[in-house]
Amino acid sequence: MVQILFILILLIIGYSLRFAKFPEDFGKSLNLFVIYISFPATILLQVPNIEFNNSLWIAVVTPWSVLALSVLLVFLFFRHQPRNMLAALLLLIPLGNTSFFGFPMLEAVIGKEAIQYAIVYDQLGSFLMLSTYGAFIVGYFSGEKINISVIAKKILFFPPFIALVFASIAGSMPQITMPYIELLSHTLVPLALISVGFSMQLRLGDDKAIFTKALLLKLVLIPLIAIGAFTVLDIHNMTATVTLLEASMPPMITAGALAIHAGFAPRLSAALVGYGIVVSLITIPLLYKLILFIS
């Protein structure tokens, strides 16, 4: 509970800074630091600790399965909505905030040992989906040409992905460097959460019914379906628990930014990201208790 309260305080600090005389690109500056410094440092620390056992495939396959399920449910519940709104929902419901918000939440709910599995889910799931599926949705609904080479370059030169490949090959870093890498890694949680808070938009538009249905779909129905599937398949271990909670994260901020930039229901997109983070402070701990109860 104390850790969740700490997350809430950091989010409030970040949101409060919107009303101070901070530059408009302050959030972007924080994001760049996290992406280029904090996140890679965390990966360099945690990836060598990953236990490459038979259950690791769960963290790789599940995000893509959840993507397919999410797309199916979006078309099932929202197929009659305007094209731009449908595009926004196809970005925000399948893509979760599994790193900037997900890592701090997992550390608070489960502990630091969860991060190694979350990295696999995020980098081989969420990040690749944003770079490929996300680019396809934006290109298709905007009428733009999809450039495969540009997508490939974004993936290959993304700093956390480079750190993931390097750590997977090199293993543990030299002992003399560990205190400094740990120090940089410790900046991930506060900076990421302040950045998330600074980026939050809490203004609801006129689409309250669609907003409510989309949020329930993202934060309740899809996680419950995933938990049900894992229960039927009798998959119960740390990898499964982390994977299920990652699949329960609120809409991704970057996906929301893409939707807003492309003109896909901007107010709805911003509200889903902002309120999704607030509501998930309640739903994720509850889902974790449900997972433990079933296990």
Please, which pLDDT band fits residue 180 given cuts at 50, 70 and 90? very high
Cα separation of 47 and 231, whole Å?
A: 27
CB 81 within 8 A of CB 89: yes
pLDDT at 130: 92
pLDDT at 31: 87
pTM score over 0.85: yes
**2 domain residue, yes or no:** no
pLDDT at 70: 97
| Mean pLDDT of the region 5-17 | 90
pLDDT at 129: 94
pLDDT at 285: 95
pLDDT at 189: 87
Q: Give the total residue count for the chain.
A: 295
Please, which pLDDT band fits residue 91 given cuts at 50, 70 and 90? very high
CB 228 within 8 A of CB 103: no
Q: Summarize pLDDT for 137-167 with one digit per residue, the tens.
A: 988 888 777 778 888 888 888 999 999 999 9
Q: Say whether pLDDT at 1 is over 70.
A: no
pLDDT at 36: 93
Q: Say whether pLDDT at 218 is over 80.
A: yes
Residue 141 backbone phi and psi in degrees, to 5: -80, -15
**128 domain residue, yes or no:** yes
Angle at Cα 162 formed by Cα 156 and Cα 163, nearest 5°? 165
Cα separation of 117 and 75, whole Å?
A: 30
User: What tokens does 160 get?
Assistant: 């956390």
pLDDT at 171: 86
pLDDT, greater one: 121 or 295: 121
**10 domain residue, yes or no:** no
Question: For the chain, what is the domain count?
Answer: 1
CB 27 within 8 A of CB 195: yes
Q: Say whether pLDDT at 204 is over 80.
A: no
Cα–Cα distances (Å) from 228 to 11, 244, 255, 287, 293, in that order, read: 31, 10, 27, 12, 13
The CATH number for 95's domain is 1.20.1530
Taking the alpha carbons at both ends of the chain, their separation in whole angstroms is 22
pLDDT at 216: 97
| Mean pLDDT of the region 6-28 | 87
Residues 6+ apart with CB under 8 A from 28: none
pLDDT at 85: 94
Residue 11 burial by Cβ neighbours in a 10 Å radius (0-12, 13-18, 19+):
buried
Range of the domain at 80: 25-294
Q: Summarize pLDDT for 249-261 with one digit per residue, the tens.
A: 999 988 988 898 8
**13 domain residue, yes or no:** no
**7 domain residue, yes or no:** no
| Three-class HEC string of the chain | CHHHHHHHHHHHHHHHHHHCCCCCCHHHHHHHHHHHHHHHHHHHHHHHHCCCCCCCHHHHHHHHHHHHHHHHHHHHHHCCCCHHHHHHHHHHCCCECCCCCHHHHHHHHCCHHHHHHHHHHHHHHHHHHHHHHHHHHHHHHHCCCCCHHHHHHHHHCCHHHHHHHHHHHHCCCCHHHHHHHHHHHCCHHHHHHHHHHHHCCCCCCCCHHHHHHHHHHHHHHHHHHHHHHHHHCCCCCHHHHHHHHHCCCCECHHHHHHHHHHCCCHHHHHHHHHHHHHHHHHHHHHHHHHHHHHC
pLDDT at 261: 85
**154 domain residue, yes or no:** yes
Cα separation of 136 and 155, whole Å?
A: 14
Q: Summarize pLDDT for 32-81 with one digit per residue, the tens.
A: 899 999 999 999 999 888 877 788 899 999 999 999 999 999 999 998 99
**9 domain residue, yes or no:** no
CB 185 within 8 A of CB 41: yes
Q: How many CB atoms lie within 10 A of CB 276?
A: 27
pLDDT at 120: 93
**18 domain residue, yes or no:** no
